Amino acid sequence: MLYVDHDGTAPSPRRVRIFLAEKGVEIPTRRLRLHVENRTPEFLAKNPVGSLPVLELDDGTCLAESLSICRYLEELHPEPALFGATPLERALVDMWTRRIELYAYVPLDLAPGFVESAPAAAEKLRNWARLALRFLDGVLAERPFVAGERYTIADVVALASLDYGARFADFPLPGDHVHLARWHARVSARPSARA
Ligand SMILES: N[C@@H](CCC(=O)N[C@@H](CS)C(=O)NCC(=O)O)C(=O)O
């Protein structure tokens, strides 16, 4: 059983939903009201951190962390290879996924919480994300996808992060980042983006 948020807007569960759609794999899914049903004793017994998504296996093992869940699913369903197909590709995909997560997603996720209490810190975090997106725009001038010629988990994480930033962190795609905008249109047009 896969546990996700009730309305499909949370970025971490969305990573897993997109990933599954790209694989063409369906898993029984339960939608929980975010910040409420993921805080019940019953759910905390599955994931003491309380976060979504969680993948509960038939033997009762509960996997949390969206990327860990996706890695597990990649082992079970290797095609298409969304974490990379060769040692070098796997390292590059991992490198880009970490860059997107650490320098774009995390700052965008944290910034809103500091706007009132520490506006300078919020602005610093937003600036971090701005620099990351400018860098990514330059990268996407040279190739169609974040980690290279093929769609990978790095694109999944980038799409979920940027859509989250635009929707919940007052951080729309900068208008002058034409390569990033073209990439965003390309990955948003994939059926998985609506999963
Ligand atoms: N690093 C974790 C982040 C999980 C996370 O923060 N999930 C959010 C939704 S995107 C959540 O469950 N928030 C609700 C809460 O913490 O009460 C992952 O990738 O799964």
Task: Supply the pLDDT for residue 1.
Answer: 98
Residues 159 and 193 sit within 8 Å (Cβ to Cβ): yes
- Between CA 44 and CA 51 the distance in angstroms is 9
Task: Supply the pLDDT for residue 39.
Answer: 97
Q: Best substitution site from 3, 19, 51 to test ligand 1's pocket, by max atoms within 8 Å of Cβ?
A: 51
Task: Supply the pLDDT for residue 60.
Answer: 97
Residue of the CA atom closest to atom 5 of ligand 1:
51
In short, whether 29's Cβ falls inside 6 Å of ligand 1 is no
Residue of the CA atom closest to atom 16 of ligand 1:
51
Q: Which mean pLDDT values do the consecutive 10-residue runs of the chain (195 residues) have?
A: 97 98 98 97 98 98 98 98 98 98 96 95 96 97 98 98 95 96 98 97
- Between CA 52 and CA 29 the distance in angstroms is 12
Cis check: omega of the bond before 112, within 30 degrees of 0:
no
Task: Supply the pLDDT for residue 165.
Answer: 96
Task: Supply the pLDDT for residue 13.
Answer: 98
Using DSSP's 3-state secondary structure scheme, residue 44 falls into helix
Task: Supply the pLDDT for residue 103.
Answer: 97
Task: Supply the pLDDT for residue 148.
Answer: 97
